[in-house]
């Protein structure tokens, strides 16, 4: 038995050597030549290694560290339980309280030092530092915050001629394409994971106003936010933003903002803008349910149903009517209001877009002007002074442009809180950007001047009606 076992081992070894010799003869000579590698030129090359893609893309991926010191004082307004329930528990902070911190990733997109990351990575933060893949660290200023897309642009202070990542074309992606996710999960350091494009044009995710996400099974974890989703040509395909998970860790369902949306935000930052101006539709839209689709004689529930039209605006000028179903824009299919919003938001201002409508069962074309929402009335900002809940807030008039900018829903009149100073009374009350003030002490508020008059003088109490996130609440607090 022992001699047979030895004989079998010798035979197996000889066979293995023969196979290795044959494999070596068939293996491409360029793989045996040494460590020099190039980005893959053919689909088959990807089977060898992702290292060339990583080497080209990784230097442009950075780690983002954001922080702030919470100095908001305790405010007696929070003694009112109804007010506290609506506005949160922000009044429990103490001066010199703990430092709020955020960890994420980002992508260098311009050699001057412009970095794209997620809005939620730097939301509410005042101090931002960026660490490059080569261990260099820089302070960064926040150039542009775009909450509607969950994107932000930073500029590194000092240095120059930074490594950058080429921007790809997210419309060219297909389900099944191989992608890499590069970021800093859990703060362990820059990490690369691999997967495929699991789905495209994911809407109804609830992450941002322009939900049109790339879904991937490449592992994305906390800290990956703002990092790069990279295609096999080492180009940016999207910005990793969120995961679907019940544990907080990756379960193979991650979402990235398409790079074509990133391009619009970067272009606005390069142009010196503090906000992104986008084409305005001037109409309210509704998603198509199965029941509505059946009533319209459609074979599937797809399209954006027009439910209301502004008296003056691009939709009215284009001849749109209530009940019209928008099914395509510039030849690209529209499955729901979010996909239409994304397609419009990625178009530059100026020119015309071609809409395809279904009206009373018939196909109807329409030409839509790509213009921004108007600033009518003018913002006329004010900063209330004295003993009022609004002290420390900047308040502006409501207009179509402001409604678009702050994603205001459910109200069509009032004035809007556009900014809140840290440490102010308004901050202690936990007022937020985009809150709509509808009335003060039963006085209807339509302009900032009316709010000034309503908050002048002494008051024993404040009866406030506020709109936030489509909800309207009235509460009374002590003066």
Token couple for 207 = 């992450």
Q: CB of 374 within 8 A of CB of 401?
A: yes
**Residue tagged active-site, from 105, 225, 250, 424:** 225
| pLDDT band per the 50, 70, 90 thresholds, residue 41 | confident
List the beta strands (DSSP E) in 300-391: 304-309, 325-329, 332-333, 352-359, 362-369
pTM of the model: 0.75
Tell me the C-alpha distance between 222 and 103, whole Å: 8
Total residues found in the chain within this entry: 479
pLDDT digits (tens, 9 = 90+) for 331-340: 999 999 989 9
Contacts of 224 (CB under 8 A, 6+ apart): 104, 105, 181, 183, 184, 185, 240, 254
Reply yes or no on whether the pLDDT at 295 is more than 80: yes
**Residue tagged active-site, from 105, 120, 241, 339:** 120
Contacts of 62 (CB under 8 A, 6+ apart): 105, 106, 107, 108, 115, 130, 131, 132, 133
* pLDDT for residue 70: 61
Q: For residue 178, what are the CA distances in angstroms to 171, 175, 407?
A: 15, 9, 35
Residue that the structure tokens 């859990």 belong to: 186
Q: CB of 214 within 8 A of CB of 233?
A: no
pLDDT digits (tens, 9 = 90+) for 14-40: 443 444 444 444 444 443 444 555 776
How is residue 187 annotated by DSSP? G
* pLDDT for residue 77: 46
Reply yes or no on whether the pLDDT at 382 is more than 70: yes
* pLDDT for residue 332: 93
Active site residue 412: no
The Cβ of residue 96 has, within 10 Å, a number of other Cβ atoms equal to 9
* pLDDT for residue 399: 93
Reply yes or no on whether the pLDDT at 89 is more than 50: no
* pLDDT for residue 222: 82
CA 278-415-94 angle, to 5 degrees, is 100
Q: What is the mean pLDDT of residues 279-302?
A: 89
Tell me the C-alpha distance between 289 and 301, whole Å: 6
Q: CB of 147 within 8 A of CB of 164?
A: no
Active site residue 308: no
DSSP H or E stretch at residue 475 = strand 471-478
Of the ranges 66-70, 81-85, 113-117, which is most confident?
113-117
C-alpha 157, offset from chain centre: 24
Question: In this predicted model, which residue has the larger pLDDT, 2 or 238?
Answer: 238
Question: In this predicted model, which residue has the larger pLDDT, 90 or 299?
Answer: 299
Percent of the chain with pLDDT over 90: 52
Active site residue 362: no
* pLDDT for residue 148: 87
Q: What is the mean pLDDT of residues 113-135?
A: 92
Reply yes or no on whether the pLDDT at 389 is more than 70: yes
Q: What is the mean pLDDT of residues 49-73?
A: 86
| pLDDT band per the 50, 70, 90 thresholds, residue 385 | confident
What is the pLDDT of the chain when averaged over all its residues? 83
* pLDDT for residue 25: 42
List the beta strands (DSSP E) in 90-164: 99-110, 114-118, 127-131, 137-146, 151-156
**What structural domains does the chain harbor?**
170-270 (2.40.10.10), 283-369 (2.30.42.10), 393-478 (2.30.42.10)
- Using only C-alpha atoms, the chain has a radius of gyration, in whole angstroms, of 28
Token couple for 2 = 């022992």
List the beta strands (DSSP E) in 119-230: 127-131, 137-146, 151-156, 178-183, 191-202, 213-216, 228-230
pLDDT digits (tens, 9 = 90+) for 153-185: 999 998 778 999 999 999 999 999 999 999 988
Provide the phi-psi class of 221: left if phi over 0, else alpha when psi is between -120 and 50, else beta: beta
C-alpha 115, offset from chain centre: 14
């Amino acid at each position: 038995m022992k001699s047979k076992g030895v004989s079998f081992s010798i035979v197996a070894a000889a066979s293995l050597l023969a196979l290795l010799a044959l494999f070596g003869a068939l293996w491409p000579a360029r793989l045996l030549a040494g460590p020099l590698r190039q980005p893959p030129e053919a689909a088959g090359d990807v089977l060898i290694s992702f290292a060339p893609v990583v080497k080209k893309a990784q230097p442009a991926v950075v780690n983002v560290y954001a922080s702030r010191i919470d100095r908001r004082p305790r405010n007696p307004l929070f003694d009112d339980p109804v007010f506290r329930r609506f506005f949160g528990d922000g009044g429990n902070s103490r001066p010199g309280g703990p430092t709020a911190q955020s960890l994420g990733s980002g992508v260098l997109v311009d050699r001057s030092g412009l970095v794209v990351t997620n809005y939620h990575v730097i939301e509410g933060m005042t101090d931002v530092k960026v660490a490059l893949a080569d261990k260099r660290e820089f302070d960064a200023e926040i150039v542009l915050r775009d909450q509607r897309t969950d994107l932000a642009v930073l500029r590194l202070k000092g240095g120059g001629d930074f490594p950058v990542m080429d921007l790809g074309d997210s419309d060219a992606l297909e389900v099944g394409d191989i992608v890499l996710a590069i970021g800093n999960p859990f703060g362990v350091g820059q990490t690369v994971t691999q997967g495929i494009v699991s789905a495209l044009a994911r809407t109804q995710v609830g992450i941002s106003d322009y939900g049109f996400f790339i879904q991937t099974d490449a592992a994305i974890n906390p800290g990956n936010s703002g990092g790069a989703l990279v295609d096999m040509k080492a180009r940016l395909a999207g910005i990793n933003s969120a995961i679907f998970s019940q544990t907080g860790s990756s379960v193979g369902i991650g979402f990235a903002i398409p790079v074509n949306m990133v391009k619009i935000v970067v272009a606005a930052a390069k142009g010196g803008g503090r906000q992104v101006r986008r084409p305005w539709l001037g109409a309210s839209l509704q998603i198509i349910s199965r029941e509505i689709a059946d009533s319209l004689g459609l074979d599937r529930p797809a399209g954006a149903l027009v439910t209301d039209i502004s008296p003056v605006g691009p939709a009215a000028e284009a001849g749109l009517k209530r009940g019209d179903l928008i099914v395509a824009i510039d030849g690209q299919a529209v499955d729901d209001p979010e996909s239409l919003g994304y397609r419009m938001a990625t178009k530059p201002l100026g020119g015309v877009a071609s809409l395809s409508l279904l009206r009373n069962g018939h196909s109807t074309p329409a030409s839509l002007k790509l213009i921004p929402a108007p600033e009518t009335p003018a913002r006329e900002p004010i900063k209330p002074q004295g003993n009022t809940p609004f002290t420390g807030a900047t308040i502006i008039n409501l207009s179509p442009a402001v409604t678009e900018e702050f994603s205001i829903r459910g109200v069509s009149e009032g004035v809007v809180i556009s900014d809140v100073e840290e440490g102010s009374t308004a901050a202690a009350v936990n007022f937020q950007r985009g809150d709509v003030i509808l009335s003060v002490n039963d006085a209807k508020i339509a302009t900032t001047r009316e709010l000034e008059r309503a908050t002048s003088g002494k008051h024993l109490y404040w009866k406030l009606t506020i709109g936030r996130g489509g909800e309207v609440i009235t509460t009374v607090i002590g003066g």
